[in-house]
Structures are given as C-alpha cells and as structure tokens.
C-alpha cells in the first residue's frame, strides 16, 4: 500500500497508489508511506525520488553504518518499532529515507504511531511543513509509546512483587514469568537505545533543519530518562528473581528437613528391631514360656517408642526442629 501526503493551498492532502506520483512535484510531497508495498509501488517511489529504498534485510542489519548513513542528497535511517504480543514484544523494522524535504517510510505492518500522526497531519497541517517535521513527530510518538510500555512493565512487576510478598503460587512458573518480563524489558531497552543512537546521528548531520534542534534535544532527554527507568526495572526484576529462588530453596529445605527428621526418629527403633530380628538367641522375659511372648512384644515396642521420644526431645532442646 502506498500513501502520499502532499501540500496543496495550505492543506495536507493524501493520495494512494503509485500513479498519483506522476502528477506531483517532489517539493510538494511531505511524506510517502509504504506499507508492505508491491514491486511496482516501490519502483515508482524510487523513480520519483531518484534513489533506491532500502530493503527489509538492510533495515534489520545491526551495524551502526547500516542503521544510519547519508550521501550528498539522501539520508537513510533504520530503526525498530515494538508491537505488543500475547506474552512478548516483537520488533518491526522501519526504514526512513529523507530526500530534500520529503520523507519516505517503508514498513511491513500497520503501526499505531503512524496512524495517529496521519490523522493529526490533516487536522493541523501547519505543524508539518517538511518531511523532517514528520520524522521528528514519528520519533516523538514512538518514544511516548515506549514510555507507555515501560509503565505497563512496571505495573506488571508490582503485581508480581505483591504475589511474592503474599507468597502466592511461589513456584517455577512464577520464575519463568519473571524471566519473560526480563526479556521484554531488554527488548524495550534495546528499542529505546536504538532511537537514541538514531537521533544522535541525525543531529550530527548538516542536512536537518536547525529549528528542530531543541525538539530533538528534548527527545534525547526523554530517552535518557526511559533508559534509567529500564535500568531500575532490571534491578527490580533481579531482586524479585533472587527472592523467588530463595523462597523455593527454603521450601525445598523445609521438605528435606521433614524427611531428615523422620529418618532420624526411625533410626533407633530400626536398630532395636534389627537386633531382635537377628537369627540368634537374645535374653527375653520368660523366653521358655510361650505365654510370655506377648509381653516381649510389648516391651520391645515400648523401648522403640521411648527411643523415638528421646531423639525428638534432644532435637527439640537444641532447637533443631
């Protein structure tokens, strides 16, 4: 899909399709937005701009020289935009191409920051005189959405902290949930740092309008605060993870303590029973009297019970229970 936003008598209008470019001049076009374009649409835009547009593979490269570079006439910039999923965030690469004062964006999926900006452009056209203004607004919208994602992460972490304090469902599943939060936090931080690198590189260029410098500086300050907040989130998640691991270990130690106590309590009776179970003659009351056998059983069981009580009393006195 191809959408072209252009100036016309103080208004910003929009047309779709590659054929509309033939009736427009480059100085009138503010923004060309490509969403999963066809080959014909992409070639039409490249012919209109007089330069190639980066592919998805080029937009996904992580080298600094691939994320941002410029020629004498064109600025190429690539960054990732996050989309929330069921359990994790997904990165969607977006490629920006700035030719003179026109912006061209290439993406594969619809993005909320783009949709909101397109509505605002037609309501307040004076705020978007050039493609650089649109570019800065897209980054501004994206930073705001990243901040919202960080707030959501903070609320989820608070809920998990409450569960841990109340010791609700402290098990391996909770540990895996915390690990997923750590992964989401790392993705958000990586995304924010990518924006910081992009804006810093843009401000080193001589092509962007100096009127946007204060706006870009504010964006860098906002990004720095988000990075600090994500660092705090990492520390908090590590603390929660250590707490959960500690509680699980305590629970396992408690179980092992019970089994150890049972084994120790049964050791003396087992020893006594093993003596009387040996195939030798041991002294018993009325050994020659068949009627006295029951008393021998009573005495042996009593000795076993006394030994159990004795072991339990010793451990209790030494605060080992």
Structure letter (DSSP) for residue 225: H
Cα 171 to Cα 90: distance, rounded to the nearest angstrom: 27
Alpha carbon distance 15, 27 (integer Å): 16
Return the structure tokens found at 155: 């609320």
pLDDT of residue 256: 83
Q: What is the pLDDT of residue 294?
A: 66
Instruction: Look at residue 56 in the predicted model and tell me its pLDDT.
Output: 65
What pLDDT was estimated at residue 187? 85
The first and second tokens of residue 106, run together, are 């290439």
Mean pLDDT by 10 residues, the chain (321 residues): 82 78 80 84 83 70 66 84 75 85 85 82 82 87 86 86 78 81 86 86 82 87 90 86 80 79 77 66 54 66 79 73 60
Q: For residue 296, what pLDDT is reported?
A: 66
SS (H, E, C) 117-182: HHHHHHHCHHHCCCHHHHHHHHHHHHHHHHHHHHHHHHHHHHHHHHHHHCCCCCCHHHHHHHHHHH
| H or E segment and range at residue 103 | strand 102-107
pLDDT of residue 65: 55
Query: Do residues 68 and 78 lie in contact, with contact meaning Cβ atoms separated by under 8 Å?
Result: yes
Please, are residues 37 and 2 in contact by the beta-carbon 8 Å criterion? yes
Token pair listed for 34: 């490509």
Q: What's the sign of the alpha-carbon dihedral 274, 278, 283, 288?
A: positive
Q: Give the per-residue pLDDT at 288.
A: 56
pLDDT score for 26 = 80
């Amino acid at each position: 899909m191809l959408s072209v936003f252009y100036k016309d008598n103080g208004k910003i209008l929009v047309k779709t399709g590659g054929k509309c470019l033939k009736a427009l001049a480059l100085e009138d076009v503010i923004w060309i937005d490509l969403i999963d374009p066809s080959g014909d649409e992409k070639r039409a835009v490249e012919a209109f701009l007089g330069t190639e547009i980066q592919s998805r593979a080029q937009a996904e490269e992580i080298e600094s020289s691939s994320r941002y570079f410029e020629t004498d006439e064109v600025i190429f910039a690539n960054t990732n935009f996050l989309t929330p999923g069921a359990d994790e965030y997904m990165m969607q690469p977006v490629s920006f191409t700035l030719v003179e004062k026109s912006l061209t964006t290439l993406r594969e999926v619809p993005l909320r920051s783009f949709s909101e900006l397109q509505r605002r452009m037609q309501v307040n056209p004076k705020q978007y005189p050039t493609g650089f203004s649109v570019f800065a607004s897209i980054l501004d919208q994206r930073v705001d959405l990243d901040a919202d994602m960080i707030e959501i992460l903070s609320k989820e972490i608070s809920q998990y902290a409450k569960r841990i304090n109340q010791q609700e469902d402290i098990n391996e599943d909770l540990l895996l949930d915390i690990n997923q939060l750590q992964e989401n936090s790392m993705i958000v931080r990586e995304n924010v740092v990518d924006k910081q690198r992009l804006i810093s590189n843009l401000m080193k260029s001589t092509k962007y309008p100096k009127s946007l410098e204060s706006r870009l500086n504010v964006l860098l300050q906002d990004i720095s605060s988000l990075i600090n907040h994500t660092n705090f989130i990492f520390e908090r998640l590590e603390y929660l993870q250590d707490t959960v691991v500690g509680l699980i270990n305590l629970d396992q130690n408690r179980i092992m303590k019970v089994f150890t106590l049972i084994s120790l309590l049964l050791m003396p009776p087992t020893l006594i029973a093993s003596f009387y179970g040996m195939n030798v003659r041991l002294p018993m009351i009325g050994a020659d009297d068949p009627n006295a056998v029951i008393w021998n059983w009573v005495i042996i069981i009593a000795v076993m019970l006394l030994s159990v009580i004795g072991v339990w009393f010793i451990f209790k006195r030494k605060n080992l229970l």
